[in-house]
Structure 1
Amino acid sequence: MKKRIILLVIVAVVVGLSLWSAQHYRVSRVARVSSAQPWWKVWLEEVSGKVWELHGNVEIREVRLGFKVPGRIVRLHVDEGDTVKPGQLLAELDQAEFLDAVRQAEAALEARRAELAALENGSRPEEIEKARALTEAARVAVRNAEIALRRAKELAPKGAVSQEMLDNAQAAYDQAVANYQAAVAAQRLVEVGPRQEEIDRARGLVRQAEAVLKDAQRRLGDTKLLSPVSGVVQVRVHEVGDFVNTGEPVFSIARQEEVWVRTYVAEEDLDRIRPGMQVVVLTDGGNQFLGQVGFISSVAEFTPKTVETREVRTNLVYRVRVLVNDPECKLRQGMPVRVRISAEKTFASDQPGKQP
């Protein structure tokens, strides 16, 4: 009777272990570390310590995109769930005021360039001829004033000209001489042309106008929101007609090419894992992905202020980042997964090549 009870207990244990194994490794594709290993061999390796698992969640980097200039949204070209590529047009703002700013900057630049061209070309022949004519007229006025002054001086001793008339003749002559000297100086300026300092100043104003135009054109280009990365639109924050400020998020894009798993390893297991170790990431839905340990935190998390007992020390955990290869974009943000690690896997750090 006792032997029969013992036999039944053994059978029950074996059946229970078999059911548990079948439930835990219900899909042979998921349960194997490699395609050549059946589930029962994986289970034996896990029991023996050659294969062990970590539990974690999928993390996908998100990019929040917004316009570099404020304005009102007039068009949205993508919606939530759409796949986008680098350089793809996502949204547009009203361009009216930005176009006006570009036109104003273009007109100001044309005016500055015209001023610079006038200075660099110098005086026209007509201007030089005019300056010479004015100089000649001033010289003639000096000669006439000199004759009048000499006549007044000859008549003054005879009493035919009063002292006042003599003084007026002298003043007229002096003024004529001054006008002649001013005309000669003006003629020289016209013939020589503008100063180099004036030309340099005009060139500086042209460069300033060019910079203003480039800034206006850049701001006009910033009314179009382009995707800098490839990924999937997760959230569309605004709608057509909304007014947005500079940098205010309009879309949130998940970067599918950068998928990784956040998991934690206990302190006593730190020697069993290294950066570069090849792993298999398993999902509850029956999918498996190849991965690689990319980062192990050097700082323990959930650490108490004081560690006094051995039991507390063994509960310390360290954050691990596992890079996952997901070409079909099946992984989702926050998805729970298991990271299966084989102790027999070769470390990438022990082989030549790029470190993760």
Structure 2
Amino acid sequence: MRKILLPVLILLAAAAYFGWHYSQAERDAGELELYGNVDIRQVSLAFTRSERIDQVLAEEGDQVKTGQLLATLDTRTLNLQVKRTQAAIAAQQQQVAKLRNGSRPEEVAQAAAQLSAAEAELELAQSQLNRLEDVKRRTDGRGVSAQDIDTATTHVRAARAQLAIRSEALKLAKIGPRDEDIAAAEAQLETLQADLALLNHQRDQSQLLAPTDARVRARLLEPGDIASPQWPVFTLALNDPKWVRVYVSEPDMGRLKPGMSAAVYTDSFPDQPVSGTLGYISSVAEFTPKNVQTESLRTALVYEVRVLVEDPDNRLRMGMPATVRIDESHSAPAGQSQ
């Protein structure tokens, strides 16, 4: 019995060995197995201005959507500045409208009345001077002093100057404001409107919004902290793109091409692989001397390869160990090169 069992066991062991060796050789010829870790891009999200934080609305692990409000700053000071600028704009708008409309009929009439008053004042001053000069002639200068004559003459000159002023004022009232004055007022209005737009922009920046769909990886500041462009409030892990970073030895580099299909396995879901595609293949070796001189060292070269994955269920997390199996029977699309 022992003589029969021993050859049978030897035959079974040999068959198992050759079967395993054949299947392993067949797998090695058509499939490449690599090991690496899941990697994703991250965003450090910070306010663009310095102010005290009013609200923080997201927690670590939260899934956020594009445009979702995550945090706000205290805007009381900005709101007061906005109100002050709005009031200045309203006043300047009235000034511009006044200049554009020109003088009102009432203002022209007022200037005409002032001109008439100046004419009457000149007529009175001239009349007084004429009387004094007449008295001086009839009395041979004894009835009027030289000072009285000088005073009356000065009143006439002042009345004439006032008449000239009132005459020019009436002309200006009829012509209206200068084009340069209107342009200057309009430019001042535009400056105030630009100031208001800047304040509104700063107020908009007091809201921290999610730039894309992502997951909150870290919450770094709290309400009451002073925000700064140099201090992020959140660190976000982007949902897409997502890849597995693996390293390929130099002998296997010839087996890889961009676009090849891959399956990504993890310990958490060993029976549910995630589909992937070979993307970036590094052209620079790592972890080896710069100048390689022996054949044994050449075989130790490794190159970074990124396997882009499609993970709609978000099963792959950053840093998770993963096994990548690349099916060499599915070659890269035509026209793609490494």
1:337 pairs, out of 319, 322, 325, with: 322
In structure 2, the CA distance between the partners of 1:264 and 1:219, relative to structure 1 (3 Å rule), is same
In structure 2, the CA distance between the partners of 1:143 and 1:52, relative to structure 1 (3 Å rule), is same
CA distance in 1, matches of 2:94, 2:101: 11
Provide the alpha-carbon RMSD of the alignment. Answer: 2.8
CA distance in 2, matches of 1:244, 1:16: 66
Q: Could you list the runs of 5+ residues in structure 2 that have no partner in the other structure?
A: none
Counterpart amino acid of residue 46 in structure 1:
R
Equivalent position of 1:278 in the other structure: 261
Equivalent position of 2:301 in the other structure: 316
Equivalent position of 1:26 in the other structure: none
Equivalent position of 2:212 in the other structure: 229
Equivalent position of 1:238 in the other structure: 221
**Corresponding position: 1:88 with 2:71:** no
**Corresponding position: 1:212 with 2:195:** yes
Report how far residue 104 of structure 1 moved.
Answer: 1.6
Deviates more, 1:323-332 or 1:92-101: 92-101
Counterpart amino acid of residue 131 in structure 2:
R
2:241 pairs, out of 245, 258, 262, with: 258
In structure 2, the CA distance between the partners of 1:198 and 1:253, relative to structure 1 (3 Å rule), is same
Equivalent position of 1:37 in the other structure: none
Report how far residue 44 of structure 1 moved.
Answer: 5.0
Contact 1:295–1:322 (CA under 8 A) maintained in structure 2: yes
Deviates more, 1:107-116 or 1:174-183: 107-116
Q: Could you list the per-position Cα deviations for residues 109-162 of structure 1 after superposition, in whole angstroms to 9, with x for gaps in the alignment?
A: 112212111111212222211111111111111122222233333333421323
| Percent of aligned pairs sharing the same letter | 38
Equivalent position of 2:157 in the other structure: 174
Equivalent position of 2:88 in the other structure: 108
Counterpart amino acid of residue 128 in structure 1:
V
**Corresponding position: 1:66 with 2:66:** no
CA distance in 1, matches of 2:48, 2:170: 55
In structure 2, the CA distance between the partners of 1:71 and 1:2, relative to structure 1 (3 Å rule), is farther
CA distance in 2, matches of 1:17, 1:118: 103
Report how far residue 4 of structure 1 moved.
Answer: 8.0
Report how far residue 7 of structure 1 moved.
Answer: 6.5
Q: Could you list the per-position Cα deviations for residues 214-246 of structure 1 after superposition, in whole angstroms to 9, with x for gaps in the alignment?
A: 221222222222111112111111223323223
Q: Secondary structure of the equivalent of 1:127?
A: helix
Q: Could you list the per-position Cα deviations for residues 20-44 of structure 1 after superposition, in whole angstroms to 9, with x for gaps in the alignment?
A: 99xxxxxxxxxxxxxxxxxx96x55
Equivalent position of 2:312 in the other structure: 327
1:248 pairs, out of 225, 228, 231, with: 231
**TM-score, normalising length from structure 1?**
0.84
Q: Could you list the runs of 5+ residues in structure 1 that have no partner in the other structure?
A: 22-39
Show the 5 A alignment for 1:29-68: 43=24, 45-47=26-28, 49-68=29-48
In structure 2, the CA distance between the partners of 1:316 and 1:104, relative to structure 1 (3 Å rule), is same
Deviates more, 1:308-317 or 1:291-300: 308-317
Report how far residue 12 of structure 1 moved.
Answer: 4.6
Contact 2:41–2:237 (CA under 8 A) maintained in structure 1: yes
